Structure 1
Amino acid sequence: MALGTAASLVAVAAGCTYSHGDPAPACDVARETITYSAVVAPIFAANCLRCHGSTVANVIGGGNDFGSYAALSRYPQNSLLGSVRHEAGYSPMPQNSSKLSDCDIKRLEAWYAQGKPQ
């Protein structure tokens, strides 16, 4: 009986997708609802606010504060997207770190294209 239970547990565990390194679901920005609070703020919290948060922007973030919707939505679209895309002529961001995922960049582009919904 113990052998049967163990075999069942192994079978269930083998059915887990991400535990085996399977790829994450495809990025489908066209079907996502892209808002500042649901999508953009978490991207910035994970990648930008350590330097560009409200309390540190003037010290280590070059004065660029992305700590709130109002602050980020005033920032020029071309500058922000040029930096996260690592385009020539822009400071690549996040600085001293890898580029944002292509999916997150597409999400930021969509947010701007949709009029920066909050």
Structure 2
Amino acid sequence: MSASDTVWLFTRYGLGEGPAELQQQLVVKYLTLALESGKLPAKVLFYTEGVRLACSGSPVLSQLRELEKRGVELVLCHTCLSYFGLLDQVQVGVVGGMGDILEALNQAAKVVAL
């Protein structure tokens, strides 16, 4: 199995269950180290609070832009963006539906929920 068979799934505005500031520090560190390693997934999926990571004000916009530059597809849940009123604040990735997310999960050899 290679990284190209892998999908990362973000459902939070950060990593883990700690304080919000710590969660955001951890997601910055994770994505920065992943970019440095060069071991990247085929896709990164965002739903529920995770969609905030790809919107204005996110601490990881530069890392997500770099992932896209390197060919990683970023897919954001339209329903979630709409629910949070963020459709006009998307800065990176493509807005898709839950069907797109389901298809990506079903095709992945490995899913890493972050």
**TM-score when normalising by structure 2:** 0.23
Larger radius of gyration: 1
Higher relative contact order (CA 8 A, sep 6+): 2
Identify, as 1 or 2, the structure richer in strand: 2
Identify, as 1 or 2, the structure richer in helix: 1
